[in-house]
Chains A and B, each alone.
Chain A
Amino acid sequence: MSSSSRDEILGKIRKARGRSGPIEGFERDRLDARLKSRPRGIIPQKARNTGAALVQDFISRAQGVEATVQDISALSEVPDAVATYLADHNLPAAVKMAPHADLAQIDWTQRPTLTVSEGRSFGQDKVSLTRAFAGIAETGTLMLLAGPEAPTTLNFLPEHHIVVLKRSEIVGAYEDAWDKLRDQVGPDGILSRVVNMITGPSRTGDIEQTIELGAHGPLGLHILVLAD
C-alpha cells in the first residue's frame, strides 16, 4: 500500500507542478544548497543583545512566563539552592537528578537530609534536577537535549523542575541555539532524539480561556543561572 501511495502522491504533486519526475539539475543543486546553507531570516531586535544585557533579557523574559530564576556563582551552591526551593514549596526532601557529568560533581554531603537519586522518572518524583544545553534570551526559553545524560521524563513528570544553566550558554535567538547544537552533533546531522524548548512551567487555558499553571507538566520551573 505504502509504496504505491507514495508514488501516487508524488506523481500528483509533480503533475500539479508541470513536471514528469523529480526536480533535477540546476534547480536541485539550488535546493540542496539552500538546505546546507540554511539561510537565516529576520532576527528580531529583541534577540540581539550581547553580554550582560543578553543574560538580563533571558532572566526577565523567563520570569515573565512564571519561571523563577536564581543566580549562583558555583556548582557548590546548588545543594543550598535546591534545599531552599524545596522548603519554600513545602516539598519532601528528595530530588531525582539527571545522570549528567556536571551535576555528578556536586557534593551533597553538606545537605545530609536531602535524598538525591539519579536516573529517569516513572512518575513518583516530585522534583527533578537537570542540565540545560542553552538558554534563549529572545523569549526566556530553555533548550534541553535528550540523551544518556538527560532523561526526557525528568522534564515533564515531576511537579517541579530545577534546571542548571551556565551564563555562557545563553544565546540571543532560536537560530543561535541551533547553530550551537549543530556544532555538537557533527557531520551526520542526526539530532538528539528530542530537543525540548521549554518556556515557563506547564499551563492550560482550556477551561474558559483562563491560564492556570501545572497542567500535565511541571507546576514550577526554577532556573539556576551559574556564573562561569
Chain B
Amino acid sequence: MQSTSKNFKANSTKALADPNLQQALGKMKVGFVEKRAKARAALPEFDALRDQARDIKNHTLANIDYYLETYEAAVQKSGGVVHWARDAAEARQVVLDICAEEKAKSVTKGKSMVSEEIALNAALEAAGYEVVETDLGEYIIQIRGEAPSHIIAPAVHVLKEQVADDFRKKHLHLDPKRSLMERKELISEARGVLRQKYLDSDVGITGANFLIAETGTSVIVTNEGNGDLTQTLPRVHIVIASMEKIVPTLDDASAILRVLARSATGQEFSAYTTFSTGPKKAADPDGPEAYHVILLDNGRTEMLGTEFEDMLRCIRCGACMNHCPVYGSVGGHAYGWVYPGPMGAVLTPSFIGVAEGGHLPNASTFCGRCQDVCPMRIPLPKMMRAYRRKEFEAGLAPPAARFGLDIWGFVAKRPSLYRLATRMAIGLMGWRGRKEGRFKSLPLASGWTDHRDMAAPAGKTFQDMWDKRQGARSAKDLEREAAR
C-alpha cells in the first residue's frame, strides 16, 4: 500500500470536514470505550493479568530465536511447512509460489493486518487470482476499494446506508428491489454471497494472533467464523504471521487471551478462538491438505534491542486507537498507511522509515490514555516522543516548526532573556485576549486555534507568579525568607 502518512495534516483536515466519517466515528467512541471499561471492572485480576502478559512477551522476545526454532520444528513434526520472509516482497513471493504450485484460481482470506502490511491482495490480483476478503468489514472495504481504517473494525468509518449502496452495486445478480434497510439484511446477504466463495476457493489465507512454540500451533481469534471457514474449506491453508506473534506455550497464549478480547471489544472472550496444528490427518473427514506458515520479519528484527522493542509486545487489540482523541477526530485513513492510531504512529516509522512515517508521532496530544489502556503496557507516548526527536534530528520536521524551536532554544538557554520575552508575550496576550478570555486565532498556532480556542493567559508569567507565591528564587531569597 502506498503510504500517504506524510500528508497527515492534509488528510486530517479532509477527515474533519467529512460528515459521514464524523457520524461514524461518533458511533464508535461510545461503544468500544464503555465496553472495555465494563469488562475490566468485571475482572478484579485484570491489571495483574496485564503485567503478566507484558512479562510473558518480554521473556519471549528476550529468547525469540530459541522459540522460533522450537516452533518451526514442531510445525514440521505436524506435517506443516514454515517459510521465513525477510521483507514484504519475499512474503508475497512465497504466497505466489504456493498458489502457482497448487494451480489455484481463487483465494479467500480471513482478516489479517500483516497481509495489508505486505500489500498481498494487489500482488495476487496482478497475478490473475480472484481474491475475496471474508471478514464482513474487510469485504465491505474491499468492495469500496479502501484500506481498513481500524485494526479490528476495518469498516468503522462506513455507515449502514453506504454499505447498502455498495452491496447494490456489487451484487448485481440479486433482486434490485430487495430491502437492505436493516443490518440483519446486509449481514445475511454477505453471508450468502461469501458462502459460495469459500466452497469454490483453492487457497485460504489467514493471519495469526499467536504462534505457539510448544506445539507448532497458529491461533486465530474471530467473532464471525469466517476465518475458520477460510482455513477449513480450501485445499491449502496459508498462515501469514509476523515473527513477534510467538509465545512459548498454550498456557501463555491463554494468559494473554484473557486481556485481548476484553481490551479489544469488551467481550470476555471472542466467539471463536481456534488453534490449528498442521494439515488434515489421514482419518480426518475435512480440513486442508497442506498447511504453510510464513514468518515475516519486515523490520521487526531492527526494533529488537532498541527503544522501540516494547512495541513488539503489541497484540493488535486496538484499545489505544479506541481511546485516542486524535484517532477519534480524524479516523484511521488520515494516518495514511496500514496501522493507525497511537500504535500506528510508532509502527509506521519503524516499518517504512522516519522520512515516510515520522510525522505521525506528532499526531498526539500526549494525553497518555493509550498507554493507560494498553493491555501489554506499551509506553506509547515515550516511543512517539523518541520518533519526534528522530524526525527533528533527521531534519524532517516542517521548516516553521524548526525555525520556531530554534528561536525558543536560543532564548530558553538564556534565563534573563527568556523571562523578558515571556513577560512581554504574556503581557501582550493577556491584554489582547482579556476581553473574551479566549483567542480564536493566534499567529503560528493555527494548528491549535483552527479547531479550538486558546485560553487567554492571566497577564503574568508562571515564573512571576511562582516568585510571588513562593518567594524563593535564589539563595539570597531563601536567606531572606529564613530571616523573616
What are the residues of chain A within 8 A of B123 when measuring CB–CB? none
What are the residues of chain A within 8 A of B5 when measuring CB–CB? none
Q: Is the CB of A207 within 8 A of B155?
A: yes
B42-71 interface mask toward A, CB cutoff 8 Å, 1 = contact, 0 = none? 011100110010001000001111111110
A39-75 interface mask toward B, CB cutoff 8 Å, 1 = contact, 0 = none? 1111011100000000000000100010000000000
Q: Is the CB of A23 within 8 A of B277?
A: no
Q: Is the CB of B229 within 8 A of A23?
A: no
Q: Is the CB of A216 within 8 A of B271?
A: no
Closest-by-CB residue of B relative to A159 is B191
What are the residues of chain B within 8 A of A120 when measuring CB–CB? 285-286
Q: Is the CB of B187 within 8 A of A193?
A: no
What are the residues of chain A within 8 A of B311 when measuring CB–CB? none
B268 contacts chain A at the CB level, 8 A cutoff: yes
How far apart are the CA atoms of A86 and B213 in the complex, in Å? 43
Q: Is the CB of A208 within 8 A of B24?
A: yes
A25 contacts chain B at the CB level, 8 A cutoff: no
A1-41 interface mask toward B, CB cutoff 8 Å, 1 = contact, 0 = none? 11001101110111011000011000110010011001111
How far apart are the CA atoms of A25 and B214 in the complex, in Å? 20
Among the interface residues A17, A202, A204, A210, which one has the most CB atoms of the partner chain B within 10 A?
A: A204
Q: Is the CB of B225 within 8 A of A217?
A: yes
Partner of A156 from B213, B232, B281, B302 at Cβ < 8 Å: B232
- Secondary structure at the A interface, as helix, strand, loop or mixed, is loop
What are the residues of chain B within 8 A of A225 when measuring CB–CB? none
Q: Is the CB of B191 within 8 A of A34?
A: no
Q: Is the CB of A197 within 8 A of B273?
A: yes
Q: Is the CB of A13 within 8 A of B64?
A: yes
B217 contacts chain A at the CB level, 8 A cutoff: yes
Partner of A212 from B134, B187, B268, B275 at Cβ < 8 Å: B187
B116 contacts chain A at the CB level, 8 A cutoff: no
Q: Is the CB of B301 within 8 A of A13?
A: yes
Query: Chain B's nearest CB lies how many Å from the CB of A55?
Result: 18
How far apart are the CA atoms of A61 and B267 in the complex, in Å? 12
Partner of B32 from A6, A209, A215 at Cβ < 8 Å: A209
Q: Provided the pairs A17-B304, A178-B250 are in contact, do residues A46 and B43 lie with their beta carbons within 8 angstroms? A: yes
What are the residues of chain A within 8 A of B250 when measuring CB–CB? 38, 178
Query: Chain B's nearest CB lies how many Å from the CB of A191?
Result: 5
Number of A-B contacts (CB under 8 A): 260
What are the residues of chain A within 8 A of B74 when measuring CB–CB? 189
What are the residues of chain B within 8 A of A206 when measuring CB–CB? 135-137, 140, 153-155, 224
Q: Is the CB of A203 within 8 A of B224?
A: yes
Which B189-233 residues have C-beta < 8 A from chain A?
A: 191, 194-195, 199, 213-215, 217, 223-226, 228-229, 232-233
B104 contacts chain A at the CB level, 8 A cutoff: no
Q: Is the CB of A41 within 8 A of B287?
A: no
* Total residues of chain A contacting the partner, CB 8 A: 79
* Total residues of chain B contacting the partner, CB 8 A: 102
Q: Is the CB of A203 within 8 A of B183?
A: no
Which B1-36 residues have C-beta < 8 A from chain A?
A: 24, 27-28, 31-32
What are the residues of chain A within 8 A of B191 when measuring CB–CB? 214-216
B163 contacts chain A at the CB level, 8 A cutoff: yes
What are the residues of chain B within 8 A of A39 when measuring CB–CB? 251
Q: Is the CB of B275 within 8 A of A42?
A: no
How far apart are the CA atoms of A41 and B259 in the complex, in Å? 13
Q: Is the CB of B64 within 8 A of A146?
A: no
What are the residues of chain B within 8 A of A42 when measuring CB–CB? 45, 48-49, 52, 255
Which B264-318 residues have C-beta < 8 A from chain A?
A: 265, 267-281, 283-287, 295, 297, 301-302, 304-305
Q: Is the CB of A5 within 8 A of B248?
A: no
How far apart are the CA atoms of A197 and B274 in the complex, in Å? 6
A201 contacts chain B at the CB level, 8 A cutoff: yes
Query: Chain A's nearest CB lies how many Å from the CB of B234?
Result: 12
Q: Is the CB of A44 within 8 A of B84?
A: no
Q: Provided the pairs A190-B78, A191-B217, A193-B279 are in contact, do residues A152 and B63 lie with their beta carbons within 8 angstroms? A: no
What are the residues of chain A within 8 A of B31 when measuring CB–CB? 205, 209
A194 contacts chain B at the CB level, 8 A cutoff: yes
What are the residues of chain A within 8 A of B195 when measuring CB–CB? 123, 216
B257 contacts chain A at the CB level, 8 A cutoff: yes
Among the interface residues B155, B225, B229, which one has the most CB atoms of the partner chain A within 10 A?
A: B225
Stretch at the interface among B85-93, B325-333, B396-404, B452-460: B85-93
Q: Provided the pairs A10-B68, A207-B136 are in contact, do residues A193 and B287 lie with their beta carbons within 8 angstroms? A: yes
A117 contacts chain B at the CB level, 8 A cutoff: no
How far apart are the CA atoms of A131 and B309 in the complex, in Å? 44
A128 contacts chain B at the CB level, 8 A cutoff: no
Among the interface residues A65, A175, A209, which one has the most CB atoms of the partner chain B within 10 A?
A: A209
Q: Is the CB of A22 within 8 A of B69?
A: yes
What are the residues of chain B within 8 A of A207 when measuring CB–CB? 136, 140, 155, 158, 160, 163, 183, 186-187
Partner of A196 from B223, B254, B272 at Cβ < 8 Å: B272
A82-107 interface mask toward B, CB cutoff 8 Å, 1 = contact, 0 = none? 00000000000000000100000000
Q: Is the CB of B269 within 8 A of A178?
A: no
How far apart are the CA atoms of A216 and B228 in the complex, in Å? 9
Q: Is the CB of A208 within 8 A of B276?
A: no
Query: Chain A's nearest CB lies how many Å from the CB of B455?
Result: 34
B243 contacts chain A at the CB level, 8 A cutoff: yes
Q: Provided the pairs A152-B232, A190-B277, A216-B191 are in contact, do residues A31 and B63 lie with their beta carbons within 8 angstroms? A: yes
How far apart are the CA atoms of A152 and B280 in the complex, in Å? 11
Query: Chain B's nearest CB lies how many Å from the CB of A62?
Result: 11
Q: Is the CB of B283 within 8 A of A9?
A: no
What are the residues of chain A within 8 A of B83 when measuring CB–CB? 2
Q: Is the CB of A199 within 8 A of B285?
A: no
Query: Chain B's nearest CB lies how many Å from the CB of A33?
Result: 11
Q: A31-B66, A199-B272 are in contact. List 9 more A-B contacts (CB 8 A).
A: A17-B65, A119-B285, A175-B251, A189-B215, A199-B268, A207-B155, A207-B186, A208-B160, A216-B136
A positions within 8 Å CB-CB of B: 1-2, 5-6, 8-10, 12-14, 16-17, 22-23, 27-28, 31, 34-35, 38-42, 44-46, 61, 65, 99, 119-120, 122-123, 138-139, 141, 146-148, 151-153, 155-157, 173-175, 178, 188-210, 212, 214-218
The 9 closest A-B pairs by CB, nearest first: A217-B225, A215-B224, A206-B137, A16-B305, A16-B304, A12-B301, A174-B254, A6-B84, A139-B269
* 5 pairs of residues in contact across A and B, judged by CB atoms under 8 Å: A6-B84, A65-B268, A151-B285, A206-B135, A217-B272
